[in-house]
Amino acid sequence: MEHKTRKRVIQATHRKDSESFPGWMKFEIVLENEDGTQETIPAYGKDLQDALSRINHDLRVNKIMRMLKSIPQWISLVLWFAYFGILSAWSNKDNTWHILIIGIGCLLVIGTIIAFWFKRRNVIKE
């Protein structure tokens, strides 16, 4: 069984301390891609491990975003109407609004958590 090669860090260099965010540092990270090419990425963090974890997070976010963009838009519309269809079929007329409000509240909380996770971490404006 053949293993996939991943991006790996070749070199990490401390560039400077941040002037606008005390305690933060700017690093220059050289990554080797799967095809053998190298790319240099600026990374920000409180230490090198924090900067590398921010790069790793952003790489995962980009990978998931590419996957999500390949899913057609109509699927989310079908899921939304399926939610309301199941909700209306499951509940009676007396307590529908309670379930509706709780369901929409849960969707908003889940959406907020997902949006916060998808925020890029390796960005500091200097």
- In the chain, where are the structural domains located? 8-117
pLDDT surpasses 70 at 5? no
H helices, E strands: number in the chain = 3, 3
Residue closest to 118 by CA, chosen among 45, 71, 79, 68? 68
**pLDDT confidence tier of residue 28, bands split at 50, 70 and 90:** very high
Backbone φ, ψ for residue 66 (5° rounding): -65, -40
Does the pTM surpass 0.75? The reply is no
Average pLDDT in the chain: 82
pLDDT at 1: 47
